[in-house]
Each structure stands twice: as C-alpha cells, then as structure tokens.
Amino acid sequence: MKGFKFFLEYENKTEKNKGTRKNPGNHTGNVVAILDDTLRVYDDGAHYDGIGAVFYTRNSGVGSTGVATKYLREKCKRISETQAREIHPNLFDVLDK
C-alpha cells in the first residue's frame, strides 16, 4: 500500500526490544499507519499524521491521529503491510476503502 508505513505497538520499550520481525513478541495487537509525507516539526517534537487504535484492546477500532516520532521510537517497531494486515484487520477495513 503506497503512502503508508506500518508500526506495531508495544506496551513499553522493553517489550519492543524483545520483539523481532519474525517473532514480534508481546505486542498490543494494534498497528499504527503513518502517512509518509506528513512529518511536521513543532516545539515539542516531530509528528506524523496517521491512523491508529482508538482503544487499548487488540484489533481495536481506528481513527485519525497524530503520532509523535518519540512514540514511534520508544513503543513501536516497523513491520510489513502483510504483518500489519494479519495483526490489525480493523485498520485495513478503513485503509482499503
């Protein structure tokens, strides 16, 4: 899917660091999709526009959101679109429309 990058969300940095692409480990069951060309820099840091989970439950419903690059670094791991589709199908109910 062009124009998006997918990141698997973790509860904390420790869990993120334990996960790998082949074995993602103990993740939240949600993926955030960021729009590639939307990086904006503010006084408090850099942010992307994206679509992500609304609730802290696996395969949550989604909504539009701003995603801090600090959040991506600390609690998220980049994954493929294929993995994202398997982990968070509700996200693609929105993206595929």
Give per-residue pLDDT as tens, 30-57.
Answer: 999 999 999 999 998 999 999 999 999 9
pLDDT of 21 reads 85
Let me know the angle formed at the C-alpha of 16 by 13 and 17, rounded to the nearest 5 degrees.
90
Strand partners, 2: none
pLDDT of 97 reads 87
- Report the mean per-residue pLDDT for the chain: 96
pLDDT of 64 reads 97
Quick one: average pLDDT of 5-14? 97
Number of domains composing the chain: 1
pLDDT of 46 reads 97
64: containing domain: 4-20+27-95
How far is it, in rounded angstroms, from Cα 88 to Cα 24? 13
